[in-house]
Amino acid sequence: MNKVKTKYANGGMVEKNGVGGWIADILIYAFLVLMMFICIIPLWYSLVASFSDGFTLYNTDGMIWLPVGKWNLKGYAHVFATDQVFLGYGNTLLYVVSATLLGFVLNVLAGYVLSRDTRYRGIMIMIVMFTMMFGGGLIPTYIVMKALGFVNNPLAIIIPTCTNAYFMILMMNAYLSVPQSTVEAAQLDGAGHFRLMFQICLPQCMSIATVVLLYSVVFQWNSWFQAYVYLSSAKEWWPLQLVVNNMIAENTNFMQSGNIDYSRYLIQYGLVVVATIPILCAFPFFQKYIEKGAVLGGVKE
Amino acid sequence: MQTLENVAAVEEEDVSPAELRKRKRQDKHKKWVKDMKKDYPIYLLFIPILVFFVIFNYVPMFGIIIAFEDYKPGRGVFGSEWAGMHGFENFYDLFSNESFPLVFRNTCVMAAMNLTIGFLAPVILGLILSQVRFRPFKRVAQTVSYMPYFVATVVVCSLIKDFLSDSGVITDLFVALGAPKEDMLTNPKYFWWINTFAGIWQGAGYGSIVYVAAISNINPDLYEAAALDGAGRWRRLVNITLPSILPTIIMMFTMSVGTVFMTGFDKVLLLYNESIYDTADCLSTFTYRWGVEQNNYGLSSAAGLFQSVISTALLLLSNKLTKVAAKTSLF
């Protein structure tokens, strides 16, 4: 039985293969190889370009597969010439850690509260869910943030984006899946709400909690718009992505102004590498949870 | 029969209807008190969450009234006068703005392209991935396919700008195919496609995960039976795989209908420039430019509200559709 399962499990594949099957297989593999190529190549290009010689790169048409000209680190020397990038790393780290932790606490709280069988549970869920349906929009939100004193203040990144209704509903479902008998047994032993929330239920919701945590980390790492709007004149608080965006724009203008320093041509590639390497290094570790999260997204509602 | 009715009548006679209602109310009240005694710690725990949503979601929703005001930052939301035309002047300004027809068209076109091409790409990728027999290859291909989802939008857009510039790698490719040598991001003809394909590059692999998972959950017996009946690979794909994942496809589609008017426009903000406003400017960028850059809060809020209302209408519509689809997909 098991053998049959593996034989057919994969979307209806059978062992036998005619000529048509072979052609189909070849087309499928060719397509997927091309797809992988398209996914990887922009990043590979940036990587090899960042080590290339600026002048040679500037005069090379079309694709490069390996660094052209003499290998060098001049691009990176430019990238790290000011402390902007380090500052960006530091700020992003601050935002990732603080927003994720704050969001985690709120998510656990919401997951627990919304999953308890209380009289006004429905209303509480409505309050949370309605924010998924309708929003105030950019300017009304901006005015509120200004009134709170959050403009040009790092709290504008940490607090408002730390969680959202969707994460809370996911956590609610996770808490609902904890068997009622476990909760009741713990209550008989005299466990209070916080003990129930963190020590009894949370370990059983860990896989969804991890998914939510990781999404929050990735979101903060890649986020730029919030800072673009609220921290526009507080450069010292810019996250890495906004620093990268700004440095590339400045450099493009600088090069268009007729300054012929070809190694500046490497800056943008260096920045792409600097901004992407950390998350791609972490990728294999959170891959399992990402697949879980993507499927969770498909079964919500 | 007779006696039973009598008993009931006697009991009712004992207490007047008013008294009965009062007792009922008291009972209700007692139960409420009892519930509250049991539940109040939970409600207390809900307060931080309530505060979070009230400040960052509900107060801004209330702040939408500035779309109907002649908003002056110095006077605040409550001090500002109502806008002219019974409060609808901002909307008049919005709809009569010379770029509004183009902005609205661009938003609709880009949303429609994301809903069709952008939606089908992950479905097709999922189906193709499921056809791979050699498992390690399938794993690698799938992992690589969703890696771009984790590359930051800022990075993706700076790469696009570079590759499409007049000496960029992709431009070189098109030049070899006979296109003129130009910065492709300054040619309004290309922008919709650039935006759509950027979305696909970033999201197709990630979007296909749910379909691959759905396909791997199909009962293998179905395939076995079909194979015994002589159904070839294509037939099995069309007659078993597709119908089996149709509910997933329908659900994902209705979900993307609900969000398509709001998401994915940060790419436009990073990519567009004045020479392609005709095809690239959309409601999100319009709202941003008029609000944050020009400080015309009234007009910007009107545009934002217009977008929110359409988006919410689409969301409600898609929820209705999901319910209908859930019924039909049972058959």
CA nearest to B131, candidates A68, A72, A139, A9 = A9
The answer to whether position A33 is within a domain reads yes
pLDDT class for B80, splitting at 50, 70, 90?
A: confident
Facing residue for A109 by CB, picked from B45, B61, B127: B45
The predicted structure's pLDDT at residue A1: 36
Q: Is the CB of residue A276 less than 8 Å away from at least one CB of chain B?
A: yes
CA nearest to A267, candidates A116, A43, A38, A77 = A77
Same domain for A132 and A30? no
The answer to whether position A284 is within a domain reads no
Q: Cα dihedral angle (B96, B99, B101, B107), rounded to 10 degrees?
A: -130
Count of structural domains within chain A: 2
Q: What are phi and psi of B69, to 5 degrees?
A: -115, 160
Please check whether residue A290 is in contact with residue B176, taking contact to mean a CB–CB distance below 8 angstroms. Answer: no
The answer to whether position A275 is within a domain reads no
> Residue A137 is encoded by which pair of tokens?
């929009």
Residue range A203-255, pLDDT digits in tens? 999 889 999 999 899 899 999 999 999 998 889 999 999 999 999 988 888 77
Facing residue for A63 by CB, picked from B147, B169, B288: B169
State whether A136 and B145 contact (CB < 8 Å): no
Give me the count of residues in chain A.
301
Same domain for A40 and A137? no
- Work out the minimum CA distance from A156 to partner chain B, whole angstroms: 11
CB atoms within 10 A of CB A130: 14
Same domain for A33 and A56? yes
Same domain for A105 and A7? no
Domain boundary among A31, A48, A77: A77
To the nearest whole percent, how much of chain A has pLDDT over 90?
50
Facing residue for B251 by CB, picked from A106, A232, A298: A298
Same domain for A97 and A234? yes
C-alpha A239/C-alpha A248 separation (Å) is: 15
Interhelix angle A19-50/B153-164, nearest 10 degrees: 90
Domain boundary among A241, A258, A279: A241
State whether A245 and B64 contact (CB < 8 Å): no
Long-range contacts, A55-63 (Cβ 8 Å, 24+):
A55/A262, A57/A262, A57/A265, A57/A266, A58/A262, A58/A265, A58/B167, A61/B167, A61/B172, A62/B169, A62/B172, A62/B173, A62/B176, A63/B169, A63/B172
State whether B63 and A218 contact (CB < 8 Å): no
Same domain for A100 and A230? yes
The answer to whether position A270 is within a domain reads no
C-alpha A273/C-alpha A267 separation (Å) is: 10
Same domain for A89 and A231? yes
CA–CA distances in Å: residue B330 to residues A95, B123, B210, B224, B243: 46, 21, 20, 23, 11
Same domain for A209 and A125? yes
C-alpha A151/C-alpha B36 separation (Å) is: 40
- Work out the minimum CA distance from B292 to partner chain A, whole angstroms: 7
Residues of B within 8 A of A148 (CB-CB) are: 55
Q: What is the mean pLDDT of residues B20-29?
A: 90
> What CATH number is attached to the domain comprising A224?
1.10.3720.10
The answer to whether position A298 is within a domain reads no
Residue type, A216: S
Residue of B68, B154, B156 to mutate, testing the A interface (most A Cβ within 10 Å of its Cβ): B154
Residue range A256-269, pLDDT digits in tens? 776 677 777 888 89
Residues in Cβ contact with B303 at an 8 Å cutoff, skipping those fewer than 6 apart:
B94, B283, B286, B287, B290
Interhelix angle A267-299/A240-256, nearest 10 degrees: 140
Q: Which of A145-149, A272-276, B293-297 has the lowest mean pLDDT?
A: B293-297
Beta-bridge partner residues of B81: B70
Same domain for A106 and A154? yes
Mean pLDDT (chain A, rounded)? 86
Same domain for A213 and A90? yes
Q: Is the CB of residue A193 less than 8 Å away from at least one CB of chain B?
A: yes
Residue range B171-222, pLDDT digits in tens? 888 888 888 888 888 888 899 999 999 999 999 999 999 999 999 888 888 8
In the predicted model, is pLDDT for residue B328 greater than 70? Answer: no
In the predicted model, is pLDDT for residue A14 greater than 60? Answer: no
Q: What is the DSSP string of A75-92?
A: HHHHHTTSSHHHHHHHHH
State whether B248 and A43 contact (CB < 8 Å): no
- Work out the minimum CA distance from A133 to partner chain B, whole angstroms: 6
The answer to whether position A14 is within a domain reads yes
Domain boundary among A60, A77, A94: A77
- Work out the minimum CA distance from A280 to partner chain B, whole angstroms: 8
In the predicted model, is pLDDT for residue B330 greater than 80? Answer: no
Same domain for A52 and A196? no
Domain of residue A35 covers 3-77
Nearest CA in chain A to B174: A62
C-alpha A290/C-alpha B203 separation (Å) is: 13
Q: Which of A53-62, B4-13, B139-148 has the lowest mean pLDDT?
A: B4-13
Residues of A within 8 A of B227 (CB-CB) are: 8, 12, 14
Radius of gyration for the alpha carbons in chain A, expressed in angstroms and rounded? 25
In the predicted model, is pLDDT for residue B119 greater than 90? Answer: yes
> Residue A8 is encoded by which pair of tokens?
């057919």
Q: Where do the domains of chain B lie, and which CATH numbers do they carry?
A: 4-64 (no CATH), 100-280 (1.10.3720.10)
Facing residue for B153 by CB, picked from A224, A248, A279: A224
The predicted structure's pLDDT at residue B310: 92
In the predicted model, is pLDDT for residue B73 greater than 80? Answer: no
Residue of B31, B124, B131 to mutate, testing the A interface (most A Cβ within 10 Å of its Cβ): B131
- If contacts are CB pairs under 8 Å, which of residues 126-145 in chain A contact chain B? 127-128, 131, 133-144
Residues of A within 8 A of B266 (CB-CB) are: 224-225
The answer to whether position A139 is within a domain reads yes
Among the residues of A151-260, which ranges form H helices? 155-158, 165-176, 180-188, 193-194, 206-222, 225-230, 240-256
The answer to whether position A273 is within a domain reads no
Same domain for A124 and A59? no
In the predicted model, is pLDDT for residue A121 greater than 90? Answer: yes
CA nearest to B216, candidates B248, B252, B253, B239 = B248
- If contacts are CB pairs under 8 Å, which of residues 239-268 in chain A contact chain B? 241-242, 244-245, 248, 268
Global pTM reads 0.86
State whether A11 and B218 contact (CB < 8 Å): yes
